[in-house]
């Protein structure tokens, strides 16, 4: 038997309002669509619906930009209120150049605009922020699905990040529950006394990337179900994918 | 009908020798295994088997390290001949610190050790280099498969690269044929007069990442077949995924 993985996009989930129980809505839709969900299947859920459910939406009308935000916005021809939100969501500015702000979020993620997203909102004055604690968000969804459908699944919360050196963004994991997002092959290839290649694979990010292939238009397919992938259970959370500053050559 | 993608790992491909016709070997194995291959399916092929077929294997015994390689190797406790090969495969050193050499290859890829790989070779004195022109490698495989099996498929040559800020490596595309590796969503979300989020998706890298999930132990599953993904045909090659230095904040 050849190894095989299936990735299924879950359509039909209604528009998410603040306070919505996302895990319950996903479970209901899985039942309604008769999608068989098995133990150790993986659900990848986009950040956007998680942020909506958790009320992580900011109305720019309520934002008073700081002096720094006004100055930057004028330089970059951006909305100063938006720049203010980006600064508030940032722990540290990594690069600020050519109209782009790359910063480190309070979670430790390094991405453009601290993950603040103005796209795909019906109201152009509203922007979405990353969930406060995406591992908790993932865990809540996992618990709901276990309650509603009786199966233990792995959950990944995903977002789309750019990266240095390569064009185009890719989906990455920003929260996990029930899965160890790193797979370690070290020792298997260490024939010359040291590894030339990194042999730890960020399977959390690869699963998120794979899910994006069925999500495409983000708002209409906010959940993907991945079947057939053998992962290690674990509750290390997303921190195991965030590189320690001491090990990072590109701070 | 829910959107669905299948990823199948192709086992059974024999050990690849220099001069092997990789496309023919893959076609033969697909026939032998009765794997239905359709128009617009995608094959992801690992760099390792491509490099072997193309004779991009170097015996370290034949390498005379330069003064610089000897000095660096002593500092990093590495094999000076290996460091010499890495330097030869590099156009530019991006970072050199803590025993890690991050360089830009002649293709423009930025990765550890210029993609030189000492793992998984039966002979510890042999290291593999990236294919000289992975787009050509991909195109050759595509032509063979069209000849042998009569279907037009998309081909991605993949390798596993680390990245800044995040732990673990992920599979990325280093060569493509028949697929446009970038998918552009711009204009769809540009509601506020500018895009806060990158809306061009590197689907070439996401497909490579998805394929890694069935490849796992790299040498035994050197090919993955992806079915059901709708891509734009194109012959832009891998260059469209390589960021122009002018647009890069992390040179």
Question: Is residue A193 pLDDT above 60, yes or no?
Answer: no
pLDDT at position B76 is 84
Co-location of B51 and B79 in the same domain: no
Instruction: List the A90-97 sheet strands across, edge first.
Output: A90-97, A100-105, A110-112
Question: Of chain B residues 209-238, which have a CB less than 8 A from chain A?
Answer: 209-210, 212-214, 216-217, 221, 229
In a domain, A14, yes or no: yes
Co-location of B141 and B208 in the same domain: yes
Which structural domain range is residue B62 located in?
58-128
pLDDT confidence tier of residue B132, bands split at 50, 70 and 90: very high
Q: Is B246 at the interface with chain A, CB within 8 A?
A: no
pLDDT confidence tier of residue A186, bands split at 50, 70 and 90: low
Mean pLDDT for the stretch of residues B74-103:
91
Co-location of A135 and A229 in the same domain: yes
Question: Is residue A122 pLDDT above 70, yes or no?
Answer: no
Lowest mean pLDDT: which of A44-48, B147-151, B245-249? B245-249
Q: Which residues on A lie below 8 Å from B121 (Cβ)? A: 191
Can you read off the two tokens belonging to residue B17? 């020798």
Question: Is residue A150 pLDDT above 80, yes or no?
Answer: yes
Higher pLDDT, A196 or A43: A43
Helices H / strands E in chain A, number of each = 6, 12
- Measure Cα distances from A122 to A47, A126, A134 in Å: 17, 8, 24
pLDDT confidence tier of residue A196, bands split at 50, 70 and 90: very low
In a domain, B240, yes or no: yes
Burial A160-193 (b: 16+ CB within 10 A, else e): bbbbbbbbbbbbbbbbbbbbbbbbebeeebeebe
Co-location of A112 and A45 in the same domain: no
How many domains does one find in chain A?
A: 2
Could you tell me the CATH number of the domain that includes residue B148?
3.30.1330.100
Domain finish residue from A128, A155, A174: A128
Mean pLDDT for the stretch of residues B231-249:
91
Task: Return the closest-CA partner of residue B220 out of A222, A69, A189.
Answer: A189
pLDDT confidence tier of residue A35, bands split at 50, 70 and 90: very high
Could you tell me the CATH number of the domain that includes residue B81?
3.90.1660.10
Co-location of B143 and B42 in the same domain: yes
In a domain, A36, yes or no: yes
pLDDT at position A59 is 95
Question: Is residue B64 pLDDT above 60, yes or no?
Answer: yes
Task: Return the closest-CA partner of residue B16 out of B55, B60, B59, B62.
Answer: B55
Domain finish residue from B128, B152, B185: B128
Co-location of A146 and A188 in the same domain: yes
Co-location of A12 and A37 in the same domain: yes
Mean pLDDT for the stretch of residues A115-122:
76
CA B29, B30, B32, B35 dihedral sign is: positive
In a domain, A250, yes or no: no
Half-sphere exposure of B204 (CA within 13 A, CB side): 35
In a domain, B251, yes or no: no
In a domain, B148, yes or no: yes
Co-location of B145 and B37 in the same domain: yes
Q: For residue A136, what is the enclosing H or E element?
A: helix A134-149
Substitution target in B176, B213, B223, B226 with the highest count of A β-carbons within 10 Å is: B213
**Mind listing the pLDDT tens digit for each residue in B156-191?**
999 999 999 999 999 999 999 999 999 987 655 433
Co-location of A39 and A78 in the same domain: no
Co-location of B43 and B142 in the same domain: yes
Query: Looking at this predicted complex, what is its ipTM?
Result: 0.94
In a domain, A78, yes or no: yes
Domain finish residue from A128, A153, A172: A128
Co-location of B76 and B173 in the same domain: no
Q: Is A122 at the interface with chain B, CB within 8 A?
A: no
**Mind listing the pLDDT tens digit for each residue in A155-177?**
999 999 999 999 999 999 999 99
In a domain, B136, yes or no: yes
pLDDT at position B1 is 84
Higher pLDDT, A108 or B96: A108
Co-location of B15 and B50 in the same domain: yes
Q: Which residues on A lie below 8 Å from B107 (Cβ)? A: none
Rounded to the nearest angstrom, the minimum Cα separation between A13 and chain B is 12
């Amino acid at each position: 038997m050849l190894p095989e993985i299936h990735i299924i996009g879950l359509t039909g989930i209604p528009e998410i309002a603040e306070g919505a129980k996302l895990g319950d809505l996903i479970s209901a839709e899985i039942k309604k669509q008769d999608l068989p969900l098995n133990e150790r299947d993986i659900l990848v859920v986009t950040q956007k619906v998680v942020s909506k459910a958790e009320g992580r939406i900011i109305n720019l009308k309520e934002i008073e930009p700081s002096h720094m935000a006004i100055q930057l916005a004028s330089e970059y021809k951006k909305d100063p209120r938006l720049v203010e939100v980006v600064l508030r969501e940032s722990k540290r500015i990594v690069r600020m150049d050519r109209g782009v702000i790359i910063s480190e979020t309070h979670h430790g993620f390094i991405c453009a605009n601290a993950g603040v997203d103005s796209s795909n909102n019906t109201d152009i004055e509203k922007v979405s922020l990353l969930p406060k604690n995406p591992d908790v968000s993932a865990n809540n969804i996992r618990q709901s699905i276990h309650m509603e459908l009786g199966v233990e699944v792995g959950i990944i919360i995903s977002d789309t990040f750019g990266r240095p050196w390569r064009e185009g963004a890719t989906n990455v994991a920003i929260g996990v529950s029930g899965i160890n997002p790193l797979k370690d092959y070290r020792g298997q290839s260490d024939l010359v006394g040291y590894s030339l290649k990194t042999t730890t694979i960020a399977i959390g990010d690869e699963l998120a990337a794979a899910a994006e292939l069925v999500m495409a238009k983000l708002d209409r397919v906010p959940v993907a179900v991945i079947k057939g992938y053998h992962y290690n259970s674990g509750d290390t959370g997303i921190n195991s994918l965030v590189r320690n500053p001491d090990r990072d050559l590109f701070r």
